[in-house]
């Protein structure tokens, strides 16, 4: 059994709640199937997630010599990153805060036996 092959993207400017909707659709799939699925998902989070999965696949091929057809997504998560607080001024001197959320996406691949 091969080791865990991982890749991580940090501070992606999309909320982790929206990213988890996409992440849940590809968990447990083969890498090639996951990448083709992500290509047709209309959600904005699909593009950065596909970049992370492709990066983990390249890590496996270059560093461990594993074929891309044998890899599957063992674990994938979208965790919260620090929230930027933005300000917007309203009527009568009021303050309307805007929360700009971000996420950390982590992918762990394994070789299927």
pLDDT in tens, 59-112: 999 999 999 999 999 999 999 999 999 989 989 999 999 999 999 999 999 998
In this predicted structure, what is the pLDDT of residue 62? Answer: 95
> Can you give the CATH number for the domain in which 21 is found?
3.90.470.10
Are 11 and 81 contacting, i.e. CB atoms less than 8 angstroms apart? yes
Alpha helices of 3-113 — where are they, by DSSP H?
16-26, 31-39, 46-59
Among candidate residues 56, 21, 59, the one with its CA nearest the CA of residue 38: 21
User: Does pTM surpass 0.95?
Assistant: no
In this predicted structure, what is the pLDDT of residue 52? Answer: 97
Rounded to the nearest integer, the mean pLDDT of the chain is 94
| Count of the separate structural domains present in the chain | 1
| Full residue range of the structural domain in which residue 33 is found | 5-111
Are 100 and 83 contacting, i.e. CB atoms less than 8 angstroms apart? yes
pLDDT band at 2 (very low <50, low <70, confident <90, very high): low
């Amino acid at each position: 059994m091969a080791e865990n092959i991982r890749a991580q993207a940090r501070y992606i400017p999309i909320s982790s709640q929206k990213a988890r909707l996409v992440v849940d659709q590809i968990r447990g799939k083969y890498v090639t199937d996951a990448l083709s699925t992500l290509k047709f998902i209309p959600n904005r989070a699909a593009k950065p997630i596909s970049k992370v999965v492709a990066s983990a696949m390249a890590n496996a091929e270059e560093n461990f010599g594993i074929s891309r057809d044998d890899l599957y997504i063992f674990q994938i998560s979208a965790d919260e990153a620090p929230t930027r607080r933005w300000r917007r001024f309203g009527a009568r001197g009021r303050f309307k805060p805007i929360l700009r959320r971000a996420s950390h996406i982590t992918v762990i691949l394994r070789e299927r036996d």
